């Protein structure tokens, strides 16, 4: 049972949880001084989220060892999502 826990997956899991706490702290830090639309926090939060999703794709769903087209589709989707988010966000505010 514990033999499996030492696999790389657990390392990925640790990274993900720590990054989640980081983004939480980042998101929460915005409350204290000013509550405004700040591109920097949003940018970093979204970037972290996409990074986490990419980790999930690559390690948990073994896209790492998947055929090339699958890898490209996943990365392509993530990039596309990032572009869409920033485009709509900037044109909005």
- The footprint of another protein (CB under 8 A) covers 1, 4-5, 7, 9-10, 12-13, 16-17, 20-21, 23-24, 26-28, 30-31, 35-39, 41-42, 45-46, 48-50, 52-53, 56-57, 59-62, 70, 73, 77, 80-81, 84-85, 88-89, 91-93
Minimum Å gap between C-beta 21 and another protein is 7
CA distance 13 to 36: 32
Best CA proximity match to 58, nearest among 73, 47, 45: 73
What's the residue count for the chain?
A: 93
């Amino acid at each position: 049972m514990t033999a499996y826990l030492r696999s790389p997956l657990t390392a990925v899991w640790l990274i993900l949880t720590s990054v989640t706490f980081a983004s939480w702290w980042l998101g929460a830090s915005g409350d204290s001084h000013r509550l405004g639309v700040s591109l920097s926090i949003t940018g970093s939060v979204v970037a972290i989220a996409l990074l986490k999703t990419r980790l999930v794709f690559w390690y948990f769903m073994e896209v790492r060892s998947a055929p090339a087209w699958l890898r490209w589709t996943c990365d392509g989707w993530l990039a596309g999502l990032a572009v869409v988010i920033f485009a709509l966000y900037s044109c909005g505010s």
